[in-house]
């Protein structure tokens, strides 16, 4: 008689959430093998089966015993919580069989019965946090090197995955979750929603929704799954929800959709799609956009360098990104050149070296976010670094635009930063323009300004985005005239959205909120800017985007009464 080995995932733990197939396989089996607590969870299904209970860390002997019993001709059920193929017994059973040279057609019959894994059971209790690309990461380093785990955390954080952390913490392993959170904070806002579920669908179920900043204040243990939201995840009425992206195309509150069904899958309706992007790259290659023309030299260099490498060019890259890409290429070549050069004078340092390349680096410089005064030493240094070949252009945006021709871009950047100057990328990035806080007499809101800069300063956006931040109700630096205006008043903030900053029909932003608490304000502005970054069409200005989508974080767009006046293009 040929035995049978069923590896069964029994789901989160409640009877109703176990599949019919799992129940039947358990009831039909003669031997049940599982971790003590799990056997207790399925007790209601048992009718005199032989039970082999084992403790934690005894998985290997459990799998070996299961194989032995099945080979002796018995019907064996190996049980795992959730899904047996997710950090469960399925893989281990197959590994033991492989070790013995087992074959599907001649060996014991093996089946894996799927179950609801913790990512899904806990997700369902939190709302709908797993609506977009997600991954699971187990923080247990008993069998996996910690270096590998933390690399995966970093990769998932950088790629904006929703992340379900399994085995987040145990009595012995307490530091892993702390380290994981620090890495996540390098990529995600402290306000990112985090769901913590303990014992989903079991007796002592606990559900908490918090933020990345505060998650460690909650009870996290071996029966907990922690779900980290992505940059779009929101909390609504105690639920954690990750939008799928429908709002990019549909107006969710309207009965009639702006796009007819036959228009919805066209490339024009999906400017973010691969098809539409390829079209845009082809156009940009034929006729570089006005913004990109500024950095033609740098772009041409970097494009040439990229082509040399066979890499695909990115037409939307900012000049600083291009410069850094160029730097990376130079460093790769240094490495290659170094290989054959004497150690004391690497060949790339010699003037005659053909690999020594001079790059054009373009960036904005200012004395600081709030500081408007420059010292003589800073000016001298700037003049020295810019030299004869570079240029400094005074812009209307509280900063100088610097173009450097240099073979040592990183060194120039470090020297300027060491002198206390603030360097920022130029082009299509989020830029915060603050007032001088009355020479720091009214500096109460400066920490919030710095927080905002941390969150979104320099973030790549579809079109240059200026955020005015003024420290009192006088708003004398004109915050309300920027794309987004923030005015601090009586320990709270007023918010203005969608200023039209240039043109003869320019107008200030729409006052959308008064007296907003600082934390909420920062959180809201960050979400608005990130949504704009994700959802706007290429080159779509913020005020156009706002008037198109009609609502941002609950603030409805209102038509601004303006005189009808033709908006002349430059030179007319």
CA angle 42, 45, 50 (to 5 degrees): 85
Assess 523 for contact with ligand SAH (CB under 6 A): no
| Closest distance of CB 226 from ligand SAH, Å | 8
Closest contact distance (angstroms) between CB of 53 and ligand SAH is 18
Q: Shortest distance, CB of residue 157 to ligand SAH, whole angstroms?
A: 18
| CA separation for the pair 81, 223 (Å, rounded) | 11
Q: How far is CA 332 from CA 87, 131, 407, 517, in A?
A: 40, 40, 14, 48
Note whether 74 and 3 are within 8 A (CB): yes
Cα separation, 390 vs 566, whole angstroms = 38
Ranked by CB distance to ligand SAH, the top (closest) residue is: 82
- Is residue 434 involved in binding ligand SAH (CB under 6 A)? no
SS3 state at 533? helix
Check: CB of residue 529 under 8 Å from CB of residue 456: yes
For residues 35 and 40, what is the distance between their CA atoms, to the nearest angstrom?
9
- Assess 10 for contact with ligand SAH (CB under 6 A): no
| Contact residue for ligand SAH among 29, 49, 80, 333 (CB under 6 A) | 80
Q: What residues between 263 and 282 interact with ligand SAH by CB under 6 A?
A: none
Work out which of 70, 78, 137, 197 binds ligand SAH, going by CB under 6 A. Answer: 197
Least distance in angstroms from the C-beta of 205 to ligand SAH: 8
Minimum separation from the CB atom of position 117 to ligand SAH (A) = 3
CA 348 – CA 355 distance, rounded (Å): 6
Find the part of the chain contacting ligand SAH (CB under 6 A) among 47-55, 75-83, 176-184, 339-347: 75-83
- Binding window for ligand SAH (CB under 6 A); candidates: 219-227, 233-241, 455-463, 544-552: 219-227
Residue span binding ligand SAH (CB under 6 A) among the ranges 86-94, 268-276, 430-438, 535-543: 86-94
Q: Which stretch binds ligand SAH (CB under 6 A): 216-224, 414-422, 543-551, 557-565?
A: 216-224
Per-residue b or e along 209-230, where b marks 16 or more CB atoms closer than 10 Å to that residue's CB = bbbbeebeeeebeebbbbbbbb
Report the C-alpha gap between 481 and 299 in whole angstroms: 32
Given 7, 8, 12, 235, the residue binding ligand SAH (CB under 6 A): 12
Instruction: Count each helix (H run) and each strand (E run) in the chain, helices first.
Output: 17, 24
Beta carbons of 134 and 161 less than 8 angstroms apart: yes
Judged by CB under 6 A, the residue of 42, 86, 426, 522 near ligand SAH is 86
Q: Which is nearer to ligand SAH, 29 or 176 (CB)?
A: 176
x/- letters, 23..62, toward ligand SAH (CB under 6 A): ----------------------------------------
Provide the minimum distance between the beta carbon of 55 and ligand SAH in the complex, in angstroms, as a whole number. Answer: 15
Closest CB to ligand SAH among residues 201, 400: 201
Phi, psi of 400 (to 5 degrees): -105, 145
Residues 279, 60: Cα–Cα separation, whole Å: 55
Site string for ligand SAH, 166-195 (x = CB under 6 A): xx----------------------------
196: exposed, middle or buried (Cβ count in 10 Å: 0-12, 13-18, 19+) = buried
Single residue of 122, 347, 445, 453 touching ligand SAH by CB under 6 A:
122
Indicate which single residue of 118, 126, 516, 521 sits in contact with ligand SAH (rule: CB under 6 A).
118
Is residue 79 near ligand SAH by the rule CB under 6 A? no
Q: Is 30 exposed, middle or buried (0-12, 13-18, 19+ CB in 10 A)?
A: middle
- Binder of ligand SAH out of 52, 128, 222, 281 (CB under 6 A): 222
Of 115-123, 340-348, 349-357, 493-501: span binding ligand SAH (CB under 6 A): 115-123
**In angstroms, how far is CA 92 from the centroid of its own chain?**
33
Nearer to ligand SAH, 19 or 199 (CB): 199
| Minimum gap (Å) between residue 3 Cβ and ligand SAH | 24
User: Contacting ligand SAH (CB under 6 A), which of 81, 180, 431, 501?
Assistant: 81
End-to-end CA distance of the chain: 92
> Judged by CB, which is closer to ligand SAH: 62, or 463?
62
Nearest to 404 by CA among 418, 422, 421, 416: 416
How far apart CA 184 and CA 137 sit, in angstroms, is 13
Q: Is 457 in the site for ligand SAH (CB under 6 A)?
A: no
Q: Does 113 bind ligand SAH (CB under 6 A)?
A: no
Scanning 114-122, 153-161, 287-295, 335-343 for contacts with ligand SAH by CB under 6 A, the matching segment is 114-122
Contacts of 48 (CB under 8 A, 6+ apart): none
Shortest distance in whole angstroms from residue 199 CB to ligand SAH: 5
The residue (of 46 and 56) whose beta carbon lies closer to ligand SAH is: 56
Of 7, 31, 45, 83, the residue at the interface with ligand SAH (CB under 6 A) is: 83
Answer yes or no: are the C-beta atoms of 525 and 484 closer than 8 Å. Answer: yes
State the minimum distance, in angstroms, from the CB of residue 197 to ligand SAH.
5
Q: Is 129 in the site for ligand SAH (CB under 6 A)?
A: no
**How distant is the alpha carbon of residue 433 from its chain centre?**
25
Q: Given the complex with ligand SAH, which of 197 and 522 has the nearer CB atom?
A: 197
Closest approach of Cβ 187 to ligand SAH, in Å? 22
Are residues 485 and 459 in contact, defined by beta-carbon separation less than 8 angstroms?
no
Cβ(88)–Cβ(9) below 8 Å: yes
Using a 10 angstrom Cβ sphere, with 0-12 exposed, 13-18 middle and 19 or more buried, the burial of residue 472 is middle
**Of 220 and 434, CB closest to ligand SAH:** 220
CA 93, 97, 99, 105 dihedral sign is negative
Residues that bind ligand SAH (CB under 6 A): 12-13, 80-83, 86-88, 117-118, 121-122, 166-167, 197, 199-202, 222-225
């Amino acid at each position: 008689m040929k035995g049978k080995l069923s590896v069964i995932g029994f789901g989160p733990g409640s009877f109703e959430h176990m599949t019919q197939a799992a129940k039947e396989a358990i009831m039909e089996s003669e031997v049940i093998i599982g971790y003590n607590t799990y056997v207790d969870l399925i007790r209601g299904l048992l009718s005199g089966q032989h039970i082999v209970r084992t403790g934690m860390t005894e998985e290997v002997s459990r799998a070996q015993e299961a194989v032995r019993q099945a080979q002796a001709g018995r019907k064996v059920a190996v049980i795992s919580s959730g899904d047996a193929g997710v950090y469960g017994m399925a893989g281990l059973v197959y590994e033991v069989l492989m070790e013995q040279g087992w074959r599907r057609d001649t060996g014991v019959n093996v089946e894996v019965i799927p179950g609801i894994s913790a990512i899904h059971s806990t997700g369902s209790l939190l709302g709908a946090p797993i609506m977009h690309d997600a991954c699971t990461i187990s923080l247990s380093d008993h069998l996996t090197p910690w270096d590998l785990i933390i690399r995966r955390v970093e990769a998932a954080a950088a790629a904006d995955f929703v992340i379900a952390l399994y085995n987040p913490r145990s009595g012995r392993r307490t530091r892993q979750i702390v380290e994981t959170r620090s890495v996540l904070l390098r990529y995600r806002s402290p306000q990112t929603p985090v769901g913590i579920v303990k014992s989903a669908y079991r007796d002592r179920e606990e559900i908490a929704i918090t933020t990345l900043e505060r998650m460690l204040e909650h009870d996290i243990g071996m029966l907990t799954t922690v779900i980290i939201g992505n940059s779009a995840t929101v909390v609504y009425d105690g639920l954690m929800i990750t939008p799928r992206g429908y709002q990019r195309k549909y107006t969710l509150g309207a009965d009639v959709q702006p796009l007819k069904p036959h228009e919805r899958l066209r490339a024009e309706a999906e400017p973010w799609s691969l098809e539409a992007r390829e079209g845009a790259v082809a156009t940009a290659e034929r006729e570089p956009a006005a913004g990109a023309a500024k950095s033609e030299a740098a772009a041409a260099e970097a494009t040439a360098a990229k082509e040399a490498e066979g890499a695909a060019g990115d037409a939307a890259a900012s000049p600083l990104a291009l410069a850094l890409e160029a730097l990376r290429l130079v460093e790769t070549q240094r490495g290659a050149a170094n290989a054959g050069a004497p150690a004391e004078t690497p060949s790339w340092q010699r003037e005659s070296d053909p690999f020594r390349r001079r790059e054009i680096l373009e960036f904005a410089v200012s004395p600081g976010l709030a500081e408007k005064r420059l010292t003589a030493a800073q000016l001298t240094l700037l003049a020295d670094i810019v030299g004869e070949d570079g240029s400094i252009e005074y812009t209307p945006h509280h900063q100088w635009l610097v173009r450097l021709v240099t073979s040592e871009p990183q060194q120039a950047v470090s020297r300027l930063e060491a002198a206390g100057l603030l360097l920022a990328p130029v082009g299509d990035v989020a830029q915060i323009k603050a007032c001088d806080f009355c020479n720091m007499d009214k500096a109460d809101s400066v920490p919030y300004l710095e927080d905002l800069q941390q969150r979104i300063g320099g973030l790549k956006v579809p079109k240059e985005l200026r955020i005015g931040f003024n420290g009192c109700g006088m708003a004398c630096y004109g915050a309300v005239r920027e794309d987004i205006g923030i005015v601090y008043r009586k320990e709270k903030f007023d918010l203005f959205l969608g200023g039209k900053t240039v043109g003869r029909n320019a107008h200030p932003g729409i006052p959308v909120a008064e007296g907003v608490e600082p934390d909420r304000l920062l959180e809201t502005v960050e979400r608005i800017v990130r949504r704009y970054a994700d959802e706007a069409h290429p080159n779509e200005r913020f005020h156009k985007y706002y008037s198109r989508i009609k609502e941002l974080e609950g603030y409805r767009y209102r038509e601004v009464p303006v005189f009808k006046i033709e908006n002349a293009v430059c030179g007319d």
